[in-house]
Amino acid sequence: MEAKEAGRELAGFDEQLADYSAKAPEAKLGILTNGIQWRFFTDIVNENVMDKEPFVQWDVLADEQPPIDFLTVLQKSEYNAGLLRAFAQRTRQQNLLVQELARLLRTPCRI
């Protein structure tokens, strides 16, 4: 976990967290936060290498629903590394699908 002061821009600190992750490959969850924005990383793309993109992001001040399903997985009473990995994989696949659909919708159809 890498925590910065509230309000500090998180851009650029992903790499710092990735460096920490490389030194402790047994840690399967990386968290980068400034107390307001939260980014959650794991190693879905390449095992033992932190992904470049977080699988969950949450801004506590944004007018959006918090990721309750993910926060439930993080509860001490519910925590299971395998479940966390499955959640991250499913979320990544959903994000890739949404990105591809958005790309297709932006591209004019040629018949």
pLDDT in tens, 5-56: 998 999 889 999 999 999 998 888 999 999 999 999 999 999 899 999 999 9
Tokens of 17: 């967290």
Give pLDDT, residue 111. Answer: 66
Residue 48 CB partners (closer than 8 Å, separation 6+): 22, 25
> What percent of the chain is predicted at pLDDT more than 70?
99
Complete DSSP assignment for 19-41:
HHHHH-TT---EEEE-SSEEEEE
Mean pLDDT of the chain: 91
Closest CA to 40 of 77, 82, 88, 75: 88
Region of 91 (left: φ > 0; alpha: ψ -120 to 50; beta: rest) is alpha
Tell the residue number behind the tokens 């924005």, with chain if given.
37
pLDDT at res. 79: 86
Q: 46: which DSSP letter?
A: B
pTM to 2 decimals? 0.84
Phi and psi dihedrals of 58, rounded to 5? -150, 130
Q: What percent of the chain has pLDDT over 90?
A: 63
